[in-house]
Structure 1
Amino acid sequence: MSSWKERTMRKGFAKLSAVALGLLLATSLASASEQGRFEKSLNVTGAADLQVFTRSGDVTIRSGSAGTIGIIGHIHVGNRWFGGDKKAEVEDIERNPPIQQSGNNIRIDYVNHQNISIDYEITAPADTKVRTKSGSGDQTIEGMHAGIDIETGSGDVRLTDLAGDLRIQTGSGNVQAQGAAGPLQARAGSGDITIEERSKGDVRLETGSGNIEARGVDGGLRASTGSGNVRVDGTPANSWSVRTGSGDAELRLPQEAAFDLDVSSSSGSVSVNHPVTTTVQGHVEESRKSIRGKVRGGGPEISVHTGSGDVRVE
């Protein structure tokens, strides 16, 4: 075999080996088993501020008793073939959990140990303000009423019965929020966003690739997706704007709602099941792709545009 062929085969084998190694490393923590555990109970007086930072691991926060924040950490070690014996490091974390308290300010910090992750189960008073940041991992938050700020690079976010200023961002993952009260912003690089509002508040939803569904909106709305469908129902107390590059848009509004309407589709049909006082612009045969006018005398503007997809306003 020629030296050129040998070099080519060696390079190809090296590339395949690197890819395989990368995949194994990426999945090592995902398949990690629990190797340790710690618990901590912290006393607070009045409203608290809780911050949770983790490179890899799930975070669950639920409302609990007033005056106490309880923290349980489940320590996981990845595939030992890569990380070696981690017993000493796990024991060090158990003795010295990465938790700091200064008055009512609680900070759970990153763990600086390779191939080790921590899942957190936390209970806190409902009036605790929450901020979390995770490189990868799911986040579940329930019953917190003082606002949240969530950021995860990769992972799903599940929220229930929340109030205050709500901010959620995930690079790759789905966002689900039920029983949200107050203004809400959610952004996903790739993933579906599903929310249900139970009180007044402006809503802003954005995903690069995924579907958006918003129920019970009572305020302003901004919803956009590069590729996916958008479905919204609610009351347009302020202006609504819906954009989708590729996908259908469906809005359901109260039959007595009054609003200004501006809807169009570059490649698709437009259907409006409300009495619209309108002036057709351009050729009559093009009017089914664009409708502008006033419904019941007009009100907050509802603007819906899709590049490729149908628009329906019920």
Structure 2
Amino acid sequence: MNKKNPLSTASVAGRSFAVAFAMCTIALVVLFFSTTALASTPQGNFEKTLSVSGPVNLEVLTRSGDVTVRAGGSGSVTIRGKIYVGDHWLMGNRSADVHEVEQHPPIRQEGNSIHIDYVNMRNISVDYEITVPAETVVRTRSGSGDQTIEGTRGNVDTQTGSGDVKLTKLTGEIHLQTGSGNIRAREVSGAVKGGTGSGDIEIEEASAGDIDLHTGSGNIVARGVQGGFHGETGSGDVTAEGSQTGEWEIHTGSGNVHVRLPSNAAFDADISTNSGTVDLGEPVEMTVQGRVGDSHKQIRGKVHGGGPLLRVRTGSGDIHIQ
């Protein structure tokens, strides 16, 4: 009579458990990637074209979703929306909700003013792509999502709780803010003010306008500055290039500062670092009248006879003025 080996039985049971566990794991992985793919695929869409005459005022409000605004032809505003459902695989069929948004998107028009409101449905978000006349004032608010605005001539006010902000070829005053994300603005004409709680900022100006930027943690780069400049970061480098026609003030708690000015730039210098060095070096020779602090950590005085104030402070980092 053959007796079963208890070790052999345990081994078979262990292998069976391992196979079952592996199959369960594979199923969960497949479910995860399936739901991720579904979450990134729109469950619905809509398009609406509105007739306008003259300059437009556009306001877009969304709790979650990307907003893209681009300048197009005059006489109309076209709004395209992609609808996403965040919980459709857990909460059952949301097709009725999607259909409701498709048939009745939260768009309101009063003359040349276009207002896009929040979608008041749980876990439903909309990405907007909007084409407007070039002469448009834009205001956007998003709890979470990227903001992109291109080619408009009018003031811009854009805010997102979490997401990147990208601005291109804008004319007008610009106010921007993101709680967490990067900011990129290229070929902008006009004053720029704003910042990010955590992220890098890069601004390229095409014409005159004051710039005021801040980030809690990240680098700041401003090129083509033609006016006043204020840049502040808790931790990060600051680079500023341009023509100083107003006061420039730069602060970083921990990071290096690079300032590039024309060779004939004249300014009042108030520059210091607690831990680092100050370099007024090549390729521009500057004659400083005033006090040069010990170990090149502090410079106060007039450069080329003096002019607008250039104040630079860093707690820990080097300062380079060219």
- What's the TM-score once normalised by structure 1's chain length? 0.88
Separation of aligned partners in 2, 1:257 and 1:279 = 17
3-state DSSP class of the match of 2:46? strand
Deviations 1:56-81 (A, max 9, x none): 00111100111100000001111423
Q: How does 1:96-175 map to 2 (within 5 A)?
A: 96-175=104-183
Separation of aligned partners in 2, 1:279 and 1:296 = 12
Shift of 1:55: 0.5
Deviations 1:34-71 (A, max 9, x none): 01010100111111100000000011110011110000
Deviations 1:146-184 (A, max 9, x none): 010000000001110001010100000000000000000
Separation of aligned partners in 1, 2:90 and 2:270 = 58
Separation of aligned partners in 2, 1:30 and 1:298 = 62
Question: In the alignment, is the contact (CA less than 8 A) between 1:152 and 1:171 conserved in 2?
Answer: yes
Pick the structure with more strand per residue: 1
Task: Give the counterpart of 1:280 among 287, 291, 300.
Answer: 291
Separation of aligned partners in 2, 1:72 and 1:162 = 22
Q: Percent identity?
A: 52
Quick check: 1:73 aligned with 2:81? yes
| TM-aligned CA distance change 1:131 to 1:210, over 3 Å | same
Shift of 1:277: 2.5
Question: In the alignment, is the contact (CA less than 8 A) between 1:28 and 1:79 conserved in 2?
Answer: no
| TM-aligned CA distance change 1:30 to 1:139, over 3 Å | farther
Question: In the alignment, is the contact (CA less than 8 A) between 1:32 and 1:79 conserved in 2?
Answer: no
Question: In the alignment, is the contact (CA less than 8 A) between 1:83 and 1:114 conserved in 2?
Answer: no
Unaligned runs of 5+ in 2: 1-31
Instruction: Identify which range, 151-160 or 27-36, moves more after superposition.
Output: 27-36
Separation of aligned partners in 1, 2:170 and 2:180 = 22
Task: Give the counterpart of 1:52 among 33, 36, 60.
Answer: 60
One-letter code aligned to 2:159: E
Task: Give the counterpart of 1:294 among 278, 287, 302.
Answer: 302
Separation of aligned partners in 2, 1:223 and 1:112 = 38
Aligned length: 286
Shift of 1:287: 4.7
Deviations 1:258-303 (A, max 9, x none): 111111001111101342323327xx6x251000111111110100
- What's the TM-score once normalised by structure 2's chain length? 0.86
After the TM superposition, list the runs of 4 or more consecutive aligned residues in structure 1 that deviate by more than 4 angstroms.
27-30
Structure 1 vs Structure 2 CA RMSD: 1.6
Deviations 1:127-156 (A, max 9, x none): 110000000011111001101000000000
Task: Give the counterpart of 1:260 among 252, 259, 268.
Answer: 268
Quick check: 1:238 aligned with 2:238? no
Quick check: 1:212 aligned with 2:220? yes
Shift of 1:257: 0.9
Question: In the alignment, is the contact (CA less than 8 A) between 2:228 and 2:248 conserved in 1?
Answer: yes
Question: In the alignment, is the contact (CA less than 8 A) between 2:60 and 2:139 conserved in 1?
Answer: yes
Deviations 1:226-258 (A, max 9, x none): 000001100000010000000000000000111
Separation of aligned partners in 2, 1:229 and 1:107 = 39
Question: In the alignment, is the contact (CA less than 8 A) between 1:72 and 1:122 conserved in 2?
Answer: yes
Q: Could you tell me which residue of structure 2 aligns to residue 312 of structure 1?
A: 320
> Larger radius of gyration, structure 1 or 2?
2
Question: In the alignment, is the contact (CA less than 8 A) between 1:33 and 1:78 conserved in 2?
Answer: no
Q: Could you tell me which residue of structure 1 aligns to residue 103 of structure 2?
A: 95
Unaligned runs of 5+ in 1: 1-23
| TM-aligned CA distance change 1:209 to 1:230, over 3 Å | same
Q: Could you tell me which residue of structure 1 aligns to residue 39 of structure 2?
A: 31
